[in-house]
């Protein structure tokens, strides 16, 4: 079942309300955009880690398909994906909010933030990037085309993005491989404007794994060009999915930057 962003705006990826005290005010809503091959489930439990005052809102993206014609709500390009997610989220972005995107999710979140600015609407109060190079840098071509099921899974498993259950369930393995391949293909359609969009007017904080084979530190640091406000770059131990490998360090850093947001 496809859920719109409105369906999950106040829920964790597991579909359960974020745990908080009765009558506890929400200081900030954090919209979370998942990685290629992932889903809103990627953010299960984040509400408990981040604690009071942060409402975790996993973003459910429309189906991504190369043969989008005839598939209700499906998209085949990054522009179409960003347009659809923006359409869903816009009614929810009238109060202070922040974006977190991991890998592909960073590119989608960046596109939504740019749409907000272009339309004169409220921009995010904070933009947090996880495991992605700056958007003006070309993505590695061999990661976006021609991947077989086995190659797709080797990429995902090699990056630490799937565990034993995925290896032991062939049907699930194929579904994840298909989703990853489609997502990488959609990422490959992204074209950064030659003139460059305006810098985000909010702080941009970039988190990268010290052992990430896909995102060199210099490419992550290039996000500095995309904000007119504060910028920070933090290298955390781990690979492309450092947020799963060292949760205490990751959530400590994420909580710190969100706690500094000025409403």
Alpha-carbon span 210 to 191, nearest angstrom:
27
Give the 3-state secondary structure of residue 260. Answer: coil
Looking at residue 109, its pLDDT comes to: 98
Q: How confident is the model at residue 34 (pLDDT cuts 50, 70, 90)?
A: very high
Can you tell me whether residue 232 is helix, strand or coil? strand
Reported as a single tens digit per residue, the pLDDT across 177-229 is 777 878 888 888 998 887 777 899 999 999 999 998 889 999 999 999 999 99
* CA dihedral sign, ordered 241, 247, 253, 254: positive
pTM of the model: 0.83
Least confident range of 106-120, 178-192, 229-243: 178-192
**H/E/C letters for each residue in 184-211?**
HHHHCCCCCCCCCCCCECCCEEEEEECC
């Amino acid at each position: 079942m496809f859920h719109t962003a409105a369906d999950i705006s106040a829920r964790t990826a597991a579909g359960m309300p974020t745990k908080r005290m009765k009558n506890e005010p929400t200081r900030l809503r954090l919209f979370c955009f998942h990685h290629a091959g992932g889903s809103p489930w990627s953010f299960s439990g984040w509400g408990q880690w981040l604690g009071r005052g942060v409402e975790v809102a996993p973003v459910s993206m429309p189906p991504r398909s190369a043969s989008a014609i005839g598939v209700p709500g499906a998209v085949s390009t990054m522009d179409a994906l960003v347009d659809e997610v923006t359409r869903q989220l816009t009614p929810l972005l009238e109060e202070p909010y922040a974006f977190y995107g991991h890998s592909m999710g960073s590119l989608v979140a960046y596109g939504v933030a740019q749409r907000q600015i272009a339309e004169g609407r409220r921009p995010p109060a904070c933009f947090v990037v996880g495991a992605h190079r700056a958007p003006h840098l070309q993505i590695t071509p061999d990661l976006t085309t021609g991947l077989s099921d086995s190659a797709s899974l080797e990429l995902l498993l090699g990056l630490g993005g799937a565990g034993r259950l995925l290896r032991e369930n062939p049907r699930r393995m194929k579904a994840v491989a298909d989703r990853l391949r489609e997502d990488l293909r959609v990422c490959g359609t992204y074209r950064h404007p030659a003139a460059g969009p305006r810098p985000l007017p909010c702080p941009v904080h970039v988190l990268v794994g010290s052992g990430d084979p896909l995102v060199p530190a210099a490419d992550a640091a290039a996000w500095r060009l995309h904000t007119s406000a504060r910028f920070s770059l933090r290298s955390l131990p781990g690979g492309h999915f450092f947020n799963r490998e060292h949760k205490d360090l990751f959530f400590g850093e994420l909580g710190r930057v969100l706690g500094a947001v000025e409403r």
